[in-house]
């Protein structure tokens, strides 16, 4: 965005803040617009007073909107976008156009997720039904000063309700909805003694899938999850509070259905030849042909201990200790056809176990001239993973058909180019792509990190506060990847083999023409050297060329160089100092403005998969050490750190019936970690620089006690300032100066709630609207094939009786809006493209009984 446009945005905010009428100062503000308490800066404050760009979703909104888990928050927070990919756990959070972290256990998200102060290191660990909530805070922009190494794009901070020390109370609810959805929830809390309180909550959530498997198997995109959570709160005196939380959640679902966007001719014919079917070019048919049902099995559990001790009323010590485990098992039919290209038992399994320990200590205090905070944070995580891909009994047939369509191979009378090549190499028929071939991968990561941080809020005068914060982080990772590969064809050096075949052909032709052996050898050698690397389709007929080059398209699983090895350590050691500086000014009791800047940091991410490749500069050393293998191509083992920076100016105002928040920002990430699927694997790489300039508006309006409305809008101008070597539609390309796909320039969330009474029954009607303008989905899928535009309505109507009984009728996506969450080149099917359609319209009824 041009500097002039930025200046206009900032002047607009300044004019808005100065143009707001300054009301007479009063001891208390009117309360038609409710004050919202937040802990976004790890201190209790109010939403309108905290000089930070943050959106808050209250528990009441979550219930009325039928938000079931964190991914549904995107319907309430405009700067947040959530994309669910091929499994329940492969979900990505994006704030202000920045975010990553799906599809690889070695890639941590750029948006940090915290539940009751405990970091969830992978998004899969936060994808369960939301616990008994107080609120959810979404902090926008880098938050590394207070939240550590993996908050370079923002933070989702979930705050749950503490146990009640005074009275026993609770609730029980039952929901029934479309696709036979049944949700049962319950919670109870109360005192065990004068100083000890407890709470217990649990849920069961089941729904049939809305994506039909036309091959006759189970429907996909189902829900099947349950969990329990218990808390103890110990308050022996006014100075000490201890909170213990234990939770367990489990998911066992079949997810996720994929739409066929474009069935490429070659791949389509080959799949059909192998006995497979696809639904042709139907993004929102919500049906497909699959030869087995995918598995998404997760277990997430943990325990945390928090204590807060107030020394003298001015200084408080807080400690949060937590241990968490995430175990997940996935197996998917990744060819997305009914052809048995992948083994249904172990075809594309991923078995991951992640153990995480975190410890935070902080001291907060209040002085005569400043409030302050000093703290330290320790993170220790161990990842073990087994994954792989195994060919099914139809893959050989598919490869035969595709090899013919590609036009490569040796001339002959055999059934296929693969048969001819096997014969020429003296191999038994059926050697290539036999059922059971493939690879099995073993990988792991050991990660330790420590942060030391401090923040000071200096009260310059009664109206002005200067905030200065700093964080120093060290992050060490030790990784390994080893692969057992049994794919014979992918290990062939087709260049060398083709050269040998050229040599033999020319040598025999020369001898037949009367040349002596020496002359024939010289002619054959010259022809082999000239033609070994030349595709026959690129030269005139009769010129030396290699007919096997087109078959390189079939080398889906080339041999792998494991690490660590004599050249590659498999280790990274990152450190960074991040900071925050902010000046806040109270124009009146109702209006404050702020000007701030800050930085963020995300450590190196490692590619724990078969797609990991040595960096180009390491290949000569690997060759010298004798560690190279056939078909070793350069790539990346890891993507280096992300460094983010934001400059922001904002205004917050709260009056009797109106609250207004504005923020103008200029945010960038150096070395943004991009992870793009290419059709046969993921390309993890650093973008040189990605930036976004934008404006955020958040309004809450209550013209009367019976109606409240909200309007939140985000306007972004994103750009890849530099991104050489990006994965484009036709392979590696330079995307510098282009607009990042998938980032909406305009996002709008609007809602309205009307309260009414029918005798002794209170009721409400609530409606929500979400709009996101049209954008291409990803870099390597043409916009004409896959774009995304959102225009979605949700609505609910609720009734509550004085005896604590409630009934809620709700509808999600009631207009049946259709859009793609993401898209990708189809797996091992050149010329084809696939995508993930959004959830269709659903309705349901929830009844709830509160008791005390």
pLDDT tens profile 462-506 = 899 999 999 999 999 999 999 999 999 999 999 999 999 999 989
Among residues 433, 407, 546, the alpha carbon closest in space to that of 491 is found at 433
With beta carbons less than 8 A apart as the criterion, state whether 41 and 684 touch.
no
What pLDDT, on the 0 to 100 scale, is given for residue 476? 97
pLDDT at 664: 95
Range with lowest mean pLDDT among 249-258, 312-321, 328-337, 646-655: 328-337
- Per-residue pLDDT averaged across 7-35, rounded? 42
Model pLDDT, residue 2: 42
The conformation of residue 738, written as its DSSP 8-state character, comes to S
- For 637, phi then psi, to 5°, come to -90, -30
Residue-level pLDDT at 90: 76
CB 738 within 8 A of CB 765: no
Regarding predicted confidence, which is higher, 415 or 316?
316
Name, of 326-335, 534-543, 796-805, the range with top average pLDDT.
796-805
**More confident: 838 or 337:** 838
The yes-or-no verdict on residue 679 having pLDDT over 70 is: no
494-512 and 517-531 helices, crossing angle to 10°: 150
Q: Token match 């190196």: residue?
A: 604
**Tell me, what DSSP letter sits at residue 742?**
T
How many angstroms separate the Cα of 373 from the Cα of each of 38, 468, 601? Answer: 17, 11, 20
Helix (H) or strand (E) holding 401: helix 395-406
Would you place residue 404 in the very low, low, confident or very high pLDDT band (cuts 50, 70, 90)?
Answer: confident
Least confident of 131-145, 309-323, 400-414, 556-570: 400-414
Cis peptide before 256 (omega within 30 of 0): yes
What CA–CA distance (Å, rounded) separates 790 from 796? 20
User: Each residue of 99-138: pLDDT tens digit?
Assistant: 776 668 888 888 888 999 999 888 777 777 777 888 888 8
| Least confident piece of the model among 14-18, 347-351, 806-810 | 14-18
Q: Which residues of 544-555 are buried (b: 16+ CB within 10 A; e: fewer)?
A: bbbbbbbbbbbb
Determine the straight-line distance between the first and last CA of the chain, rounded to whole angstroms.
56
Residues of the chain above pLDDT 70, percent: 92
Give 827's pLDDT tier (boundaries 50, 70, 90): confident
Under the banding of pLDDT at 50, 70 and 90, the label for residue 275 is confident
Is residue 294 pLDDT above 80, yes or no?
yes
- The predicted structure's pLDDT at residue 518: 93
- Give CA angle at 344 (629, 286), nearest 5°: 110
Structure tokens, 51: 């000089």
Would you give the DSSP letter of residue 254? Answer: -
Q: Which of 126-135, 251-260, 602-611, 805-814 has the highest mean pLDDT?
A: 805-814
- Residue 846's H or E segment, with its range, is strand 842-851
pLDDT of residue 446: 97
CB 829 within 8 A of CB 780: no
Instruction: With beta carbons less than 8 A apart as the criterion, state whether 45 and 584 touch.
Output: no
Residue 192 confidence (pLDDT) above 90: yes
- Res. 61 pLDDT band, cuts 50 70 90: confident
The whole-chain average pLDDT of the chain stands at 87
What is the average pLDDT across 138-150? 83
Tokens 């190279």 sit on residue: 628
- Give yes or no for residue 230 having a pLDDT over 90: yes
Give the residue from 317, 290, 100 showing the smallest Cα distance to 213: 290
How far is CA 599 from each of CA 362, 442, 657, 673, rounded to the nearest angstrom? 21, 36, 35, 16
Q: Which two tokens stand for residue 411?
A: 């001339």
Instruction: Identify the band that residue 262 occupies on the pLDDT scale cut at 50, 70 and 90.
Output: confident
16: confidence class by pLDDT, cuts 50, 70, 90: very low
Whether the pLDDT of residue 13 is over 50: the answer is no
CA atoms within 13 A on the CB side of 726: 27
DSSP letters spanning 311-341: SSSSEEEEEEEEEEEEEEEEE--TT-SSS--
pLDDT of 356 > 90? The answer is yes
């Amino acid at each position: 965005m041009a500097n002039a446009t930025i200046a206009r945005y900032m002047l607009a905010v300044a004019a808005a803040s100065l143009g707001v009428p300054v009301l007479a100062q009063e001891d208390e503000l009117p309360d038609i617009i409710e004050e919202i308490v937040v802990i976004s800066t790890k201190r209790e404050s109010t939403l309108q007073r905290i000089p930070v760009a943050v959106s808050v979703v209250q528990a009441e909104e979550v219930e009325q909107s039928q938000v079931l888990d964190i991914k549904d928050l995107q319907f309430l927070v405009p700067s947040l976008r959530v994309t669910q990919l091929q499994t329940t756990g492969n979900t990505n959070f994006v704030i202000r156009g920045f975010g990553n972290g799906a599809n690889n256990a070695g890639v941590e998200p750029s948006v940090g997720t915290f539940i009751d102060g405990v970091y969830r290191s992978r998004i899969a660990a936060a994808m369960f039904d939301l616990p008994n909530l107080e609120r959810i805070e979404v902090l926008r922009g880098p938050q590394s000063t207070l939240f550590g190494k993996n908050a370079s794009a923002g933070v989702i901070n979930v705050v749950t309700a503490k146990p009640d020390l005074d009275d026993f109370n609770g609730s029980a609810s039952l929901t029934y909805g479309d696709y036979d959805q049944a949700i049962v929830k319950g919670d109870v809390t109360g005192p065990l003694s004068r100083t000890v309180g407890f709470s217990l909550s649990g849920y069961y959530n089941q729904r049939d899938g809305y994506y039909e498997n036309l091959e006759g198997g189970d429907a996909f995109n189902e829900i099947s999850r349950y969990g329990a959570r218990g808390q103890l709160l110990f308050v022996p005196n006014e100075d000490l509070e201890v909170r213990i939380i234990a939770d367990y959640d489990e998911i066992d679902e079949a997810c996720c259905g994929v739409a066929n966007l474009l069935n490429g001719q070659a791949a389509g014919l080959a799949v059909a030849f192998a006995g497979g079917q696809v639904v042709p070019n139907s993004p929102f048919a919500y049906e497909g042909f699959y030869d087995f049902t995918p598995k998404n099995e997760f277990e997430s559990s943990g325990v945390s201990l928090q204590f807060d001790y107030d020394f003298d009323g001015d200084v408080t010590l807080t400690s949060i200790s937590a241990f968490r485990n995430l175990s997940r098992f996935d197996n998917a039919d990744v060819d997305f056809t009914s052809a048995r290209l992948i083994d249904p038992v172990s075809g594309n399994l991923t078995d991951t176990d992640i153990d995480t320990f975190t410890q935070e200590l902080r001291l907060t205090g209040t002085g005569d001239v400043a409030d302050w905070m000093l703290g330290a944070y320790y993170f220790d995580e161990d990842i073990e993973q087994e994954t792989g891909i195994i060919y099914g009994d139809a893959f050989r047939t598919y490869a035969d058909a595709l090899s013919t369509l590609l036009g490569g191979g040796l001339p002959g009378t055999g059934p296929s180019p693969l048969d001819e090549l096997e014969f020429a190499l003296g191999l038994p028929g059926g050697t290539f792509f036999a059922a059971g071939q493939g690879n099995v991968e073993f990988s792991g990561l050991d990660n330790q990190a420590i942060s030391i941080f401090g923040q000071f809020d200096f009260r310059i005068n009664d109206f002005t506060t200067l905030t200065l914060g700093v964080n120093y982080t060290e992050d060490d990772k030790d990784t390994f990847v080893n692969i057992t590969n049994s794919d014979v064809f992918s290990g062939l050096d087709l260049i060398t083999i083709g050269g040998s075949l050229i040599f033999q052909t020319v040598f025999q032709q020369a001898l037949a023409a009367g040349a002596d052996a020496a002359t024939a050898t010289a002619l054959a050698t010259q022809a082999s050297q000239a033609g070994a690397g030349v595709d026959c389709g690129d030269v005139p007929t009769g010129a030396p060329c290699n007919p096997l080059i087109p078959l390189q398209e079939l080398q889906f699983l080339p041999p792998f160089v494991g690490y660590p090895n004599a050249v590659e350590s498999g280790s990274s050691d990152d450190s960074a100092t991040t900071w925050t500086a902010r000046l806040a000014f109270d124009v009146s009791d109702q209006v404050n403005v702020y000007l701030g800047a800050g930085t963020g940091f995300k450590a190196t991410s490692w590619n724990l998969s078969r797609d990991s490749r040595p960096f180009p500069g390491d290949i000569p050393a690997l060759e010298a050490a004798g560690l190279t293998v056939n078909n070793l191509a350069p790539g990346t083992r890891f993507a280096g750190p992300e460094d983010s920076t934001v400059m922001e100016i904002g205004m917050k105002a709260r009056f009797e019936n109106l609250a207004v928040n504005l923020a103008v920002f200029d945010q960038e990430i150096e070395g943004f970690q991009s992870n793009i699927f290419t059709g046969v694997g993921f390309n993890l790489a650093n973008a040189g620089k990605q930036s976004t300039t934008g404006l955020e508006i958040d309004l809450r309006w209550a013209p009367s006690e019976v109606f409240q409305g909200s309007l939140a809008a985000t306007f972004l101008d994103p750009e890849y300032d530099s991104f050489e070597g990006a994965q484009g539609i036709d392979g590696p390309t330079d995307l510098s100066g282009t607009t990042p796909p998938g980032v909406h320039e305009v996002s709008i969330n609007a809602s309205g709630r009307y309260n009414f009474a029918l005798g002794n029954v209170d009721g409400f009607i609530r409606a929500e609207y979400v709009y996101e303008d049209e954008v291409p989905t990803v870099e390597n899928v043409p916009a004409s094939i896959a774009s995304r535009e959102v225009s979605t309505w949700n609505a609910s109507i609720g009734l509550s009786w004085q005896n604590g009984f409630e009934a809620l009728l709700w509808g999600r996506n009631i207009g049946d809006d259709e859009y793609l969450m993401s898209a990708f080149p189809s797996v091992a099917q050149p010329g084809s493209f696939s995508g993930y359609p959004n959830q269709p319209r659903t309705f349901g009824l929830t009844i709830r009984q509160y008791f005390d």
